[in-house]
Amino acid sequence: MPDQDQQPVVWAPGTHELGEGARWVDGRLVFTDILAGRLLEVSGTAPGTPRELLRLDVPLGAVAPVEGRPGHWIAAAGTGIALLGPDGSTEWLARPEQDAATPVRMNDGVCDPQGRFWAGSMAYDETPGAGSLYRTDHDGTVHRVLTGLTIVNGPAFSADGRLLHVADSTAGVIRRCTLDADGNPLDMVEFARITDGGSPDGMTVDTEGRLWVAIWGSAAVHRYEPDGTLSAVVPLPAPQPTSVCLPPTGGRLLVTTARLGLPGAPPPSGAVLAVPVDAAAPAAAAYRPR
């Protein structure tokens, strides 16, 4: 739980329309402003103004570092998965949503502990069932793993990579499945359901196996025990939290927020917030190309 005597503070000021993809990489926080196609970073040790690392001419949902290639990223961007260079150069691995029946973009994404990149998609108009979850393997091939979702968020993995948590935000449901060694789902169960009108968005698993979830529309982050029990609610001064990050050093929950659909919303909507908590999580896993 957060320290009740300490309130959330602004860690990185900004008016990002759709901040997302908060990840701990090399001792700093990296995150995206999706619709602006921007990748940003801010210090992991003290609040500060975010710095732009690169900018694309398509939406940029989330990134993961590429192992052994400093400054390079694998990204959920536009209609597919791409490798990005430090200068923003783009090598597309696949664009599976390029010819979708309704316009679709990539959304959230993360690497599992095995070094595979997972990312979800969603229709711009939130057409029910138009979203999918994709897995990018070490050889760069992209596979559609789950279909029939609407707004795919997460995913988040257990420490051994065997358990996958994924949110279908529109349905208000977080599901969990067991994966085989190749990353194929063996089962799918409902892990948690949001009943207060909010929607589950970005999430992460801490070192105790608890799932922390940004709840869009509810100005809160939820913490769930491994059995799905809701064990903590962290209130925030912004209505649309989008993703969460727990540094490996612990002591702090970092939360990206959005101003999308909130014209004239006052700060801190669109900023990155920090809340004191007694929890930690591993740094972002890197993509390991073959």
CA dist., res. 137 & res. 112, Å (int): 11
Q: For 194, phi and psi rounded to 5 degrees? A: -85, 125
Among 201, 206, 227, 278, the one annotated catalytic: 201
pLDDT band at 6 (very low <50, low <70, confident <90, very high): low
Global pTM value? 0.96
Of the chain, the percentage scoring pLDDT greater than 70 comes to 98
Query: For 259-269, how does the pLDDT look when each residue is reduced to its tens digit (9 = 90+)?
Result: 999 988 888 99
Average pLDDT over residues 48-53: 97
Residue 217 burial class via C-beta count within 10 angstroms: exposed 0-12, middle 13-18, buried 19 and up: middle
Tens-digit pLDDT profile for residues 7-25: 899 999 999 999 999 999 9
Give the per-residue pLDDT at 7.
87
| pLDDT band for position 101 (cuts 50, 70, 90) | very high
| Rounded Cα gap, residues 33 and 212, in angstroms | 21
If you average pLDDT over residues 156-185, what whole number do you get?
A: 97
Q: What is the pLDDT of residue 263?
A: 81
Is pLDDT of 4 > 70? no
Q: Stretch 19-32: mean pLDDT, rounded? A: 98
Contact 253, 279 (CB under 8 A): yes
Instruction: Answer yes or no: are the C-beta atoms of 24 and 283 closer than 8 Å.
Output: yes
* pLDDT > 70? residue 3: no
- Residue 169, pLDDT > 80, answer yes
Q: What tens digit of pLDDT does each residue of 189-219 get?
A: 999 999 888 999 999 999 999 999 999 999 9
Rounded mean pLDDT, 246-251:
96
pLDDT at 87: 87
Tell whether the model's pLDDT for residue 149 goes beyond 80: yes
- The tokens for 211 are 């799932």
**Mean pLDDT computed over every residue of the chain:** 95
In the residue annotation, 108 being an active-site residue is answered as: no
pLDDT for position 266: 84
Q: Looking at domain 9-276, what is its CATH homologous superfamily?
A: TolB, C-terminal domain (2.120.10.30)
